Amino acid sequence: MTLNNFLMPKPPGDLREMSIQALAHLGDAVYELMVRTYLCSNGAKAVKQLHKKSVSMVSAKAQAASAGMILPFLSEDEAAVFKRGRNAHQASVPRASTHEEYHAATALESLFGFLYLSGEHDRLSELFRIIISED
């Protein structure tokens, strides 16, 4: 990939062939960047405060809760990606979360990776606004 096509949307067929773990890997970074941007833009100033709040918002437990908030608003295609992420085999689960929380977090990350690579940045913002409105 060259820098010229770094932010170019990928065709849906290409994304359906991509592994769900790859989408989750990217989606994890996208979600964390959105959280950090939100916190920096909304008054959190001290680095220690920013770090503590961002860690609490991107934990598997918090992401699972966020997944539950957006699930009713997903389109059929989005729900299909979400389900693929939720059903993906996980080699290990962090001690701080349950299997269910970790699977839901992976589903959320997969969806965010999919939407990012699809160029659906407005949709990402819309779903993220739902999440933070409950915060």
Q: What is the DSSP string of 33-71?
A: HHHHHHHHHTT--SHHHHHHHHHHHHSHHHHHHHHHHHG
SS3 101: helix
- Give residue limits of the domains in the chain: 21-133
Whether the predicted pLDDT of 7 surpasses 80: no
At 32, list the tokens.
């964390």
- DSSP letter (8 states) at residue 9: P
21-133: which CATH topology? Ribonuclease iii, N-terminal Endonuclease Domain; Chain A (1.10.1520)
Whether the predicted pLDDT of 1 surpasses 50: no
Whether the predicted pLDDT of 30 surpasses 90: yes
Task: List, by residue number, the catalytic residues.
Answer: 28
SS3 13: helix
Mean local confidence (pLDDT), 29-48 = 89
Query: CA-CA distance, 42 to 59, in Å (whole number)?
Result: 20
pLDDT of residue 102: 86
Whether the predicted pLDDT of 3 surpasses 50: no
Binning pLDDT at 50, 70 and 90, where does residue 84 land?
very high
Whether the predicted pLDDT of 82 surpasses 50: yes
Chain position carrying tokens 């965010």: 112
